Structure 1
Amino acid sequence: MTTETIPPYPPIEPSHFDLIVIGTGLPSSIISAAASTAAKSVLHLDSNSFYGSHFSSLPLHDVTSFLTTSSSDHDDVTDDVIFRQIYSDVEIKCYDESVNECSRKFSLDVSGPRVLFCADECVNLLLRSGGNQYVEFKNIDASFVAGESGELVSVPDSKSAVFKDRTLKFSEKNQLNSFFKMVQGHLSGEMRIEDEDLESSFVTFLDKMKLPPKIKSIILYAIAMVDYDQDAGDSCKNILKTKDGIDRLALYHSSVGRFPTALGALLYPLYGQGELPQAFCRRAAVKGCLYVLRMPVISVLLNEDGGTYKGVKLVSGQEITSDKLVMDPSITITSSPVNPPSEDVSKVFKVGGVSGKVARGICITKSSLKPNISSCLVIYPPRSLYPDQATSVRVLQLGSNIAVCPSGMFVVYFSALCDDALEGKKSLHAAIDSLFSVHTLDTADSSSTDLADSAEAKDRAEVKPTLLWSALYIQDLIEGSMGPVVTTPTPDGNFNYNDLIGSTSKLFQKLYPDDEFFPETINTDPSDKLDDDSDLLES
């Protein structure tokens, strides 16, 4: 059941629950669904009028206000529940007003770019929980990685794709296939990579296999999805070990061909990533969870002992108690005006600190990055855009066939891990400049001579898609925390949800150590699983 409240606020019944969850982000929604599946009574609240929080998909005109204002529409000086802004350095530009005329036809992810691998933990969780009944997917058509001279090289994801690839030399195709065969042999047990190699850095192992730079780049940054420059030695912030690299290759290759109607390894949900938290919310509602939108929590309540959580006070004035509480990562708690001064709320509410930053970008264009390709992934490895580029830049283009934009337009997402806004924005701007041209009217008043001189440059510029609108911003990375009250994590800097699903599972197990995280009661017959899996994809 879901209630969208409009003041005056109706009372919520009952007045006590096993669990209260504030915010409908993906981790919070998964926890709600898991707790409801475990027969817990759950009240799920959100001050917004939409589901998803920092994992939502929004119309164009809503993106600006979401990134630049607090997550809560309610502002009261008596509140002890404060919403901190996790976005900064927001830079929004409109180059063509026509995009604003069809704002409602856009469904833009605030946590993009992000995909699902066909065989990853998020897909498995959707199947196990039954959430797959509420979301459909489309396959990503192609993947590319930027070469040494800036050209986009196709990423071959199977043996047949390797042989069909026209950008690889015959010797490179043999080397890549031999490497894939060795990895598959290790995974199947037919052969074994030495333990010493498994514990070494993956880039060292690739060098040992005498793989050329182009092949190394494809494996490291476009298949294993590594962020930091692996050739930087000790200065690299996160060196990938061979055993972890092998696992990432295994995920990629097990994803290729898992679904009969999917050509590649990557999936994207119809209507945007915001469909994922909604799918888990719907599953939770089926299991009895009560949802109330537009309902801010203004205070938290402690027991008389002053050291344990009791409940929450809503903007309506009603007090609701619960045994446990889960909060959105953008929520912070100050000293409570409804609790005695002796009560130290900091002992109860442990707020996660900022562990890093990720630069994100959303662009709208008039044409595809590649002719006849609607959706595609582009990877710019470290140092491919400029010499001191420290991390990979990931680019994901989506078209109207995925129902995220009007026909004839494309949405392109960017992301790059960074230490600060200056570094992050530099990476995104370099990628945007490499891919797009910006339409201006400067030549309208030029002389015929100027136009003739610029004709060749104009022709070159028109090869690139024209940029219509862009939003660049920096997002804080906040990890989940487990005190007497649970705080869920923000969207991370990864390309898929595997780490996020893992951390959410751990938070649930700490909340309910005696309950299983979505017991295996669905799709237990292996002979039925392929049919159930295929239902994830829109034909």
Structure 2
Amino acid sequence: MEEPPYHPIEPCNFDLILSNTGFPLSIIAAAASIAGKSVLHLDPSPLYGSHYSSLPLDSFISFSQNSNPNPSPYSSPDMPDEEADYRALTVEYRPLFSAFELSTHSSDHLGPSRSFNLDLSGPRVYLSRDSTVDLLLRSGANNYLEFKGMEATFIWYEDGLFMVPESRNAVFRDQKLGFLEKRHLTGFFKLIREGGFDEREMEGSFVEFLEKKGISPLIKSIILYAIALADYDQEKPKDHNNLLSTRDGVESSSLYLSSVGRFPNAPGAFIYPMYGQGELPQAFCRCAAVKGAIYVLRMPVIALLIDKETGHYKGIRVSSGQDLFSHKLVLDPSIAVPPKVFSPTELHNKEFEGLSLDNAIKTPKLSKYVARGVFLTRTSQKPGLSTLLVVFPPRSLYPEQMATVRALQLGSNASVCPNGMFVVYISTPCDDAAKGKEVLRAAMNVLFMIPDAISSENLTPTSEGVQREGKPVLLWSALYIQEMIEGSSNPVYYCPTPDEKLDYRGILNSATKLFHEMYPSEDFFSQAAAMESSVENDINSLD
């Protein structure tokens, strides 16, 4: 057989192998490396980040057109090897992003492709005092990152944009809020900071808690959707499982308020990584590499290696044809593998009758979808502001809108686009592609002037009447759907896909839980050298 066009990976035995360099896998790789485990981290892409990547414009367009994610293996994944004590079980790749609609709305040249860093799973930001930022400080990953503070947050209410005040002084300076609304918001800020809640109140719903306090509708929307960051309708919920408890609402509000002004050059609650969110997994990959982890890009996994006698996981085969072995394996949900490997004894039991290793291949559980959009303009949503967030509460765009819509605008000072341009990310959770895109188009009509035929053909009747003066002219847009898939474990571990949240806390919690399931006796980043007191100055250098 012809020699493969790759250098062999050495050594070939590891404690842990991971495939795809998304955010949760990169955290696990860094934590395992710091805990002294031997780690091999692979990615089929030439870029770090996987579904959390930030791509140049041409690469983003190419990604949207790649309908077949399965790699072409150098050798047959199921190539028999009679002498080996294992057999190869083929895996399949499936796209998590689909239904792309790319549109050019202007003949203007957009600028060099490499001047763009477009997030695949935006919008996403950090709260300055959340667990993700604390982990950056504790692990030393902040040494590989720079940040940009968000300048303002707005909420869409009764066909108008209202700025969200983030402090008592900002409330009193606000020209749009009435006296009663200012009183309600400052009273809420004081309540959150002083605490002293009745334990019985904490178990009810947060929206009922606010209503009992007599808080006005506008301030209630600000608190629920711009401060507590509720993702779904809290007043007329479709699913009561999506209701925020008072405890969760108070904790989220407290986190938001404590994040305001944490860093000198980020006066608000939110920060964003310079050069795009793809920098975040790269930072943790660098932490892992410093501790000895091996990284190989352009190297997809094409098969699992299964012990012939026990039926247990043994290793992987990569596209070069090389077989690699590990005690544990973590995969991205885009790779379809058996959720359980059955032993020969189990396969003879009546309970497992008819099952085999080959037909046991299933994908992790699909929970729901996220509709996402990327938009390019030459003017800001608000003159004089470059980085800002716009929140559309449920039912604010039209009556059937059941979930929050968020729009994140970033300018060239965040190093995500050429000078004189702005990138806007919009997302909302949805039940299917058609409904998700309907909501995106309603938000598009509020935020942008759309100069070509798409503005009349694709807008829904419910959103046609919404007009706003001074809207930026839309130059280019991409709408698409992302599947949300839950993580799982044993015998092979899966990380979850990007979720519908604005921040990273849920993703970090999933990665932390997975690490403890794999290594229950190990501490999470316990040996990280950075101490908060010594590295706080590094992260304080926000631009």
TM-score by length of 2: 0.88
| Alpha-carbon distance in 2 for matches of 1:349, 1:138 | 43
Residues 350-361 of structure 1 correspond to what in structure 2 (within 5 A)? Answer: 351-361=363-373
Q: Which moved more, 1:210-219 or 1:98-107?
A: 98-107
| Alpha-carbon distance in 2 for matches of 1:298, 1:441 | 44
The structure-2 alpha-carbon separation of the partners of 1:273 and 1:521, relative to structure 1 and needing over 3 Å to count, comes to closer
* Aligned residue in 1 for 2:470: 463
Aligned partner letter, 2:140: G
Query: 1:438, CA displacement in angstroms?
Result: 1.8
Q: 1:403 aligns with which of 415, 429, 432?
A: 415
Query: 1:370, CA displacement in angstroms?
Result: 0.4
Aligned partner letter, 2:305: L
* Aligned residue in 2 for 1:151: 160
**2:44 is the alignment partner of 1:47:** yes
Residues 36-435 of structure 1 correspond to what in structure 2 (within 5 A)? Answer: 36-69=33-66, 70-74=68-72, 78-79=76-77, 80-99=90-109, 101-148=111-158, 150-186=159-195, 192-232=196-236, 236=240, 238-333=242-337, 344-345=356-357, 351-435=363-447
Q: How many residues align?
A: 504
Query: 1:99, CA displacement in angstroms?
Result: 4.5
| Alpha-carbon distance in 1 for matches of 2:218, 2:204 | 21
Identity of aligned residues (%): 50
| CA distances 1:488-530 after superposition (whole Å, capped 9, x unpaired) | 1100000000011001001011111111110164444x65464
Aligned partner letter, 1:136: E
| Alpha-carbon distance in 2 for matches of 1:379, 1:461 | 16
Query: 1:71, CA displacement in angstroms?
Result: 4.0
Q: Which moved more, 1:405-414 or 1:195-204?
A: 195-204
| Alpha-carbon distance in 2 for matches of 1:118, 1:356 | 28
| Alpha-carbon distance in 2 for matches of 1:498, 1:348 | 33
* Aligned residue in 1 for 2:505: 498
* Aligned residue in 1 for 2:479: 472
| Alpha-carbon distance in 1 for matches of 2:124, 2:114 | 22
Q: In 2, are the aligned partners of 1:147 and 1:384 still within 8 Å (CA)? A: yes
| Alpha-carbon distance in 1 for matches of 2:107, 2:240 | 43
Q: In 1, are the aligned partners of 2:364 and 2:487 still within 8 Å (CA)? A: yes
Aligned partner letter, 1:498: R
Q: In 2, are the aligned partners of 1:369 and 1:465 still within 8 Å (CA)? A: yes
| CA distances 1:382-406 after superposition (whole Å, capped 9, x unpaired) | 1111111111110000000000001
Aligned partner letter, 1:65: S
* Aligned residue in 2 for 1:513: 520
Q: In 1, are the aligned partners of 2:24 and 2:511 still within 8 Å (CA)? A: yes
Q: In 1, are the aligned partners of 2:387 and 2:408 still within 8 Å (CA)? A: yes
**2:537 is the alignment partner of 1:531:** yes
**2:20 is the alignment partner of 1:23:** yes
Aligned partner letter, 1:472: L
| CA distances 1:93-143 after superposition (whole Å, capped 9, x unpaired) | 112344455222110000000000100111111111111111110001110
The structure-2 alpha-carbon separation of the partners of 1:252 and 1:54, relative to structure 1 and needing over 3 Å to count, comes to same
Query: 1:266, CA displacement in angstroms?
Result: 0.3
| Alpha-carbon distance in 2 for matches of 1:182, 1:167 | 23
| CA distances 1:295-342 after superposition (whole Å, capped 9, x unpaired) | 12211101122421111112211111111111111001379xxx99x8
**2:483 is the alignment partner of 1:486:** no
Q: In 2, are the aligned partners of 1:348 and 1:485 still within 8 Å (CA)? A: no
Q: In 1, are the aligned partners of 2:140 and 2:530 still within 8 Å (CA)? A: no
SS at match of 1:285: helix
The structure-2 alpha-carbon separation of the partners of 1:421 and 1:49, relative to structure 1 and needing over 3 Å to count, comes to same
| Alpha-carbon distance in 2 for matches of 1:267, 1:380 | 20
**2:26 is the alignment partner of 1:13:** no
Query: 1:77, CA displacement in angstroms?
Result: 9.6
Q: In 2, are the aligned partners of 1:364 and 1:410 still within 8 Å (CA)? A: yes
SS at match of 1:301: strand
Q: In 2, are the aligned partners of 1:349 and 1:485 still within 8 Å (CA)? A: no
* Aligned residue in 2 for 1:452: none
Query: 1:531, CA displacement in angstroms?
Result: 2.6
| Alpha-carbon distance in 2 for matches of 1:235, 1:43 | 41
| Alpha-carbon distance in 1 for matches of 2:506, 2:335 | 22
SS at match of 2:242: coil
TM-score by length of 1: 0.89
Q: In 2, are the aligned partners of 1:350 and 1:485 still within 8 Å (CA)? A: no
Q: In 1, are the aligned partners of 2:411 and 2:423 still within 8 Å (CA)? A: yes
Gaps of 5+ in 2: 78-89, 348-354, 455-466
| CA distances 1:339-367 after superposition (whole Å, capped 9, x unpaired) | 99x89447997741111111000001111
The structure-2 alpha-carbon separation of the partners of 1:461 and 1:212, relative to structure 1 and needing over 3 Å to count, comes to closer
Aligned partner letter, 1:518: F
| Alpha-carbon distance in 2 for matches of 1:221, 1:144 | 11
Query: 1:163, CA displacement in angstroms?
Result: 1.2
| Alpha-carbon distance in 2 for matches of 1:97, 1:77 | 46
* Aligned residue in 1 for 2:457: none
Query: 1:65, CA displacement in angstroms?
Result: 2.6
